[in-house]
Amino acid sequence: MIKEQKKQIRRKALARRNALTEPERERGKLLITERILGHQWYYLSDTILGFVSYGSEICTTEILESALQDGKNVYVPKVEDGKMEFYRMFSLSELKNGYKKIPEPAGDTDRYVFEPEHADKTLLLMSGSAFDPLGNRMGYGGGFYDRYLADKENLRLRSIGIGFRCQQVEQVPVEVTDVKPYQVILV
């Protein structure tokens, strides 16, 4: 029952996101970049676990490039054998198409290793298909972030779900395995 509800909510939220015009996307990119780069958690972090935007997702290019220019350690997801881990990136130009043609680090780069004493200096940015006013996040159905956060002590990481305002729904159906970000910023 919940799986079917999620599927319908995801489909509708993604249809709204896909329908955004180029000026709306550009405005969203500028606003989310401004909000993240001006966020206290960004300022306090020396490590950013970001994501490379794909398809109609809100563009994270400027966030990632700024983090690199600011001297932060930047890691982005890489999926292998159905498991997501974060790997270090040094430049957007080094990325290659990986799982579902989503850009990810090529070759052997350092994998992010969670250290509890470093949690307050790490910021995790989460993509999603839908978000609700209570801060619940719905991904794309693969459970990658949920599994990544559940099998570690990473729940103490400062995490922010980001997206477009059109992705907000009344309520995201929540399962026991769902992990929500500490904050959600929709623009």
Q: What is the pLDDT at residue 150?
A: 84
Q: What is the pLDDT at residue 154?
A: 59
Q: What is the pLDDT at residue 18?
A: 99
152 annotated as ligand-binding: no
Q: What is the pLDDT at residue 67?
A: 99
Q: Please, what are the averages of pLDDT over each run of 10 residues along the chain (187 residues)?
A: 94 99 98 99 98 97 99 97 95 94 90 89 97 97 92 75 99 93 97
170 annotated as ligand-binding: no
128 annotated as ligand-binding: no
Could you give all domains of the chain from N- to C-terminal order, each with its CATH number?
2-186 (3.40.50.10420)
Q: What is the pLDDT at residue 108?
A: 80
Q: What is the pLDDT at residue 66?
A: 99
Q: What is the pLDDT at residue 115?
A: 85
Buried b (16+ CB within 10 A) or exposed e, 74-99: bbbbbeeeeebebbebeeeeebeebe
101 annotated as ligand-binding: no
Q: Yes or no: say if 76 and 105 are a contact pair by the CB < 8 Å rule.
A: yes
